[in-house]
Amino acid sequence: MSHGPEKRGTSTRTMRGRVVTRARNGVFVAPGKNSELHFCRVPSKGKSTRVNMPVPGDWIVYDPPSDVTDGWVRGIEPRISLFRRYVFARIKDIAANMEQVLLLICPESPVVSPRLVDRMLAGASAGKLEPVIVLNKSDLFSRKRIEEYLQPWRDAGYPVLVISALKGNGLEQLENVLSGRDSLLFGASGVGKSTLLNRLIDDLDLDTSSISRATGRGVHTTTFTYLYSLPDGGIVADTPGIREFYPVVEADELRFHFPEFEPLSEECAWRDCLHLDEEGCAVRAAAEDGRIHPARYQSYRILYRSLLEGPDRGRRHTDHEQT
Ligand code: GDP
Ligand code: ZN
Q: Average pLDDT of 75-83?
A: 97
- From CA 51, how far away is CA 75, in angstroms rounded? 6
- Determine whether 113 is exposed, middle or buried from the number of CB atoms within 10 Å of its CB (0-12, 13-18, 19+): middle
Residue 12: the pLDDT is 63
* DSSP code per residue over 5-44: ---TT--TT-EEEEEEEEETTEEEEESSTTPPPEEEE---
The answer to whether residues 188 and 240 touch, using CB atoms and an 8 Å cutoff, is no
- From CA 200, how far away is CA 204, in angstroms rounded? 9
Q: Which ligand is nearest to the CA of 265?
A: 2
Nearest CA to ligand 1 atom 22: 137
- Ligand 2 centroid to Cα of residue 156, in Å, is 17
Residue 149 has pLDDT above 80, yes or no: yes
Residue 182 has pLDDT above 70, yes or no: yes
Residue 87: the pLDDT is 87
CATH number of 251-313: 1.10.40.50
Assess whether the C-beta atom of 110 lies below 6 angstroms from ligand 1.
Answer: no
The answer to whether residues 230 and 178 touch, using CB atoms and an 8 Å cutoff, is yes
Assess whether the C-beta atom of 107 lies below 6 angstroms from ligand 1.
Answer: no
The neighbouring-strand residues paired with 130 are: 100
Dihedral sign from CA coordinates of 182, 255, 246, 298: negative
Residue 207: the pLDDT is 64
pLDDT digits (tens, 9 = 90+) for 305-321: 999 988 755 454 444 33
Assess whether the C-beta atom of 221 lies below 6 angstroms from ligand 1.
Answer: yes
Residue 23: the pLDDT is 87
* pTM of this structure: 0.89
The answer to whether residues 195 and 165 touch, using CB atoms and an 8 Å cutoff, is yes
Residue 321: the pLDDT is 32
For domain 82-238, give the fold: Rossmann fold (3.40.50)
Assess whether the C-beta atom of 10 lies below 6 angstroms from ligand 1.
Answer: no
- Ligand 2 centroid to Cα of residue 53, in Å, is 39
pLDDT band for 179, please (50, 70, 90 cuts): very high
Q: Which ligand is nearest to the CA of 208?
A: 1
- From CA 80, how far away is CA 78, in angstroms rounded? 7
Nearest CA to ligand 1 atom 20: 192
Domain boundaries, the chain: 15-76, 82-238, 251-313
pLDDT digits (tens, 9 = 90+) for 202-232: 777 676 654 333 334 434 345 789 999 998 8
- From CA 290, how far away is CA 284, in angstroms rounded? 10
CATH number of 15-76: 2.40.50.140
Dihedral sign from CA coordinates of 184, 189, 194, 199: negative
Assess whether the C-beta atom of 241 lies below 6 angstroms from ligand 1.
Answer: yes
Going through the chain in order, the beta strands assigned E by DSSP cover 15-23, 26-30, 38-41, 59-63, 71-76, 82-87, 90-96, 100-105, 130-135, 160-162, 182-187, 226-229, 235-238
Nearest CA to ligand 1 atom 8: 208
Q: Average pLDDT of 248-269?
A: 97
- From CA 11, how far away is CA 203, in angstroms rounded? 38
Assess whether the C-beta atom of 206 lies below 6 angstroms from ligand 1.
Answer: no
Contacts of 243 (CB under 8 A, 6+ apart): 188, 189, 217
Nearest CA to ligand 1 atom 12: 192
Residue 42 has pLDDT above 70, yes or no: yes
